[in-house]
Amino acid sequence: MQEKAWIIWLALLAATLALEALSLQLFSVWFALGAAAALVSCAFGAPVWLQVPLFLAVTGVGLAATRPLVKRLQKKARPPEEETLQEEVMQ
């Protein structure tokens, strides 16, 4: 498994970057960064049991750190009438 781990990380990196390019939602980019971190750790000889938690940690931290920013940007992008309609629905 250790010898082929780099292929898995590279395939996951390519797939998540392709998905991000198609969706433009800034969601799968964090999986791509996690896969890149795991790929780099694999290149330096880290065992698979360390690569997987590194992938999860980088993905989770990236997602958690930027989620408030993305929500704020999405709120600014909404037309004002949509915001008032959504506020009325929530009440």
Tell me, what's the pLDDT at 86?
Answer: 58
| pLDDT at residue 61 tops 90 | yes
Which of 15-24, 61-70, 79-88 is the most confident on average?
A: 15-24
Domain boundaries, the chain: 2-90
Q: Which among 37, 73, 67 has a CA at the least distance from the CA of 55?
A: 37
| Mean pLDDT within 19-42 | 90
Q: With a threshold of 0.85, does the pTM exceed it?
A: no
Tokens (6 digits) for 5:
């781990």
Which residue type occupies 61?
V
Output phi, psi for 18, to 5 deg: -65, -40
